[in-house]
Copies of this chain bind each other. A is one copy, B any other.
Amino acid sequence: MNNYSYISHLECPKCGEIYKGDHIYQLCKCGSPLLVRYDLEKVKENVSREEIANRTNSLWRYHELLPIQQQKNVVTLGEGMTPFEKLPSLGAEFGLNHLYIKDEGVIPTGSFKTRGASVGISKAKELGVKHLAMPTNGNAGAAWALYAAKADIKATIVMPLDAPQITRKEVYIAGGNLHLIDGLISDAGKVVSSLVQNYGVYDASTLKEPYRIEGKKTMGYEIVEQFGWKVPDVILYPTGGGVGIIGIYKALLELQQLGWIEDKKLPRLVAVQAEGCAPIVEAWNKGEIESKFFENSTTCAFGINVPKAIGDFLVLKGIYDTEGCAIAISEEEILRTQKLIASLEGNFVCPEGAATFAAARILHEQGWIDANEHVVCLNTGSGLKYPETVVIEGVETIKPGQEILLNI
């Protein structure tokens, strides 16, 4: 073992089965996703928070806590350490005195999916993968196709016709093997399963390889580091496949074990969904530990249009364990909030991100979030990828030489 990574093994969170970290594994024999475990005692002995603070300005600053064993296998476009900023004007509007954005729009490929792609592709390269396949709601496929291109791995991407248009162009320009499907991500998932069975390609579907989550957990590390190695009171996350929230929860537990955060109480994790696709919210409302397939799902926040997530039980566990909650937001509220954020704070967020801010406002109004709590909303991507969410009205075109009248 070198000390670039302190990966120890893979573990099934359902049945407890253990697997080695240097072979290709997908799901556990029992059907559950696998989680990566590290020798945290060794990390504690060999790495300090101060050392990390002086390192490269990307998620690779946490390399001991990532699964790549040889640095030469790292596939990077400089991703991570995204902005973490206080939003005083929006906070005042909402009655929240300590409202923050973690802005995952400011990252290569323009969405948080990049983290999973960078770590997932790096590990795939290390494991000798030559061809992978994945279903996607757009952003993940775009990120994986671009990183796969850099790693010289073939990528077959199956994407709903309704996914954001720009994401299919990202796959295409990367030279990915792009397929559009007239259906949902669950339909795309079935196509990919059959490719995996028929051709033996690597299954890069959400949580069917154990490494994507390791990339996404770095959002949790960064929030804590950027917050001065403390934890906020509440973290709100837009939840589709749920890997983001699972990853952040995993990161917080690891940081506790490392003694890098002193807080005994973890942030309350909030899964934010759209009213048009709210399987986790329905399960949470009923106190259940798994979700049911959400029929006829639809939302402009396309990234969270996931009717049944394979990791739903892990998302729900994270919420219950931290005394968090789940909440669904209407389409109208998502778009209204997106505009409010841009006009008050200058952040052009994606609709999924806008939903978390709407949720913060509503939960404060309901008394679930106190005015003085420290609240972090995850914006998972750039509004640039969702041009259709902005409809311009009342703007006229002028001719050269024509004058404008100002109302001042």
Contacts and interface: CB of A to CB of B under 8 A. Distances in A.
Contacts of A342: 146, 149, 170, 173-175
A99 to B, nearest CB: 14
Interface in A16-68: 53-54, 57-58
A103 B81 contact: no
Nearest to A130: B408
A392 B195 contact: no
A305 to B, nearest CB: 15
A332 interface: no
A95 interface: no
A1 interface: no
B401 A190 contact: yes
Contacts of A147: 346
Majority SS at the chain A contact face? mixed
Interface stretch (A251-259, A269-277, A382-390): A382-390
B181 A392 contact: no
Given A170-B348, A175-B342, A78 B106 contact: yes
Interface in A88-140: 89, 103, 105-110, 131
Contacts of A168: 392, 395
A194 to B, nearest CB: 6
A191 interface: yes
Interface stretch (A158-166, A232-240, A286-294, A323-331): A158-166
Nearest to A58: B83
Contact of A384 (B344, B385, B390, B398): B385
Contacts of A201: 406, 408
A75 B347 CA distance: 12
Contact of A146 (B107, B175, B346, B402): B346
Contacts of A13: none
Of A103, A147, A150, A187, most B-chain CB atoms within 10 Å: A150
A404 B82 contact: no
A108 B109 contact: no
B387 A166 contact: yes
A397 interface: yes
Interface of A: 53-54, 57-58, 75-79, 81-85, 89, 103, 105-110, 131, 146-150, 154, 156, 158, 161, 165-166, 168-170, 172-175, 177-183, 187, 190-191, 194-195, 198-199, 201, 338-339, 342-348, 382-385, 387, 390, 392, 395-404, 406, 408
Ranked 5 nearest A-B pairs via Cβ: A78-B83, A150-B346, A187-B400, A175-B343, A183-B400
